[in-house]
């Protein structure tokens, strides 16, 4: 299973790619595999404030609905319109075209609470 070393990971299976004062967020390949065939993604509007550990959207599969949780706090600066038109891309390219939102970080120290790739691998190995 693909778990890129350059990302940070939450306990709720979201990934974070930090680039200066902003970060892209998506779900991990593990989460996408567990969810199944994704049919709908509901993301917040640009400008929405998100809080670490709180829900920011919903992802629906054929047989389930799951909340999406922000790994860090900040303001949404971009939402991936592509996943609204083709939600299956979230599972097909979880670390590429399937990203969900971009956040302007309000508290960069929250990144320290996230797992590195080795920590995330250990977590899912225990599931």
Q: Which CATH number do you get for residue 79?
A: 2.40.50.100
Could you list the beta-strand ranges (E) of the chain: 8-9, 14-19, 22-27, 38-42, 49-50, 55-61, 65-69, 74-79, 101-105
Q: In terms of pLDDT, which residue wins out, 127 or 50?
A: 50
Has residue 2 been placed in a domain?
A: no
Domain with 47 in it: 8-125
Contacts of 126 (CB under 8 A, 6+ apart): none
Predicted pLDDT of residue 63: 87
pTM of the predicted model as reported, rounded to 2 decimal places? 0.95
Taking only the tens place, the pLDDT of each residue in 75-90 is 999 999 999 999 999 9
Has residue 120 been placed in a domain?
A: yes
Predicted pLDDT of residue 127: 84
Mean pLDDT to the nearest integer, 48-67: 96
Mean pLDDT to the nearest integer, 22-43: 96
How many other CB atoms are there within 10 angstroms of residue 76's CB atom? 22
Has residue 1 been placed in a domain?
A: no
Has residue 82 been placed in a domain?
A: yes
Mean pLDDT to the nearest integer, 41-57: 97
Q: Give CA–CA dist 58/60, Å, rounded.
A: 7
Q: What is the mean pLDDT of the chain?
A: 96
Q: Count how many domains the chain has.
A: 1
Radius of gyration of the chain (CA): 13
Q: Is the pLDDT of residue 1 over 80?
A: no
Kindly state the tokens that stand for 93. 């390219």
């Amino acid at each position: 299973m693909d778990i890129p070393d350059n990302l940070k990971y939450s306990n709720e299976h979201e990934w974070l790619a930090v680039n200066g004062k902003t970060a892209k967020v998506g779900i991990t390949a593990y989460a996408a595999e567990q969810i199944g065939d994704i049919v709908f993604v509901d993301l917040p509007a640009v400008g929405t404030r998100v809080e670490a550990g709180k829900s920011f959207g919903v992802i629906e599969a054929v047989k389930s609905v799951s909340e999406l949780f922000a790994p860090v706090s900040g303001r949404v600066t971009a939402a991936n319109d592509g996943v609204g038109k083709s939600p299956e891309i979230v599972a097909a390219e979880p670390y590429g075209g399937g990203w969900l939102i971009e956040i302007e970080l309000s508290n960069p120290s929250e990144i320290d609470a996230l797992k590195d790739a080795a920590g995330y691998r250990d977590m899912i190995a225990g599931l």
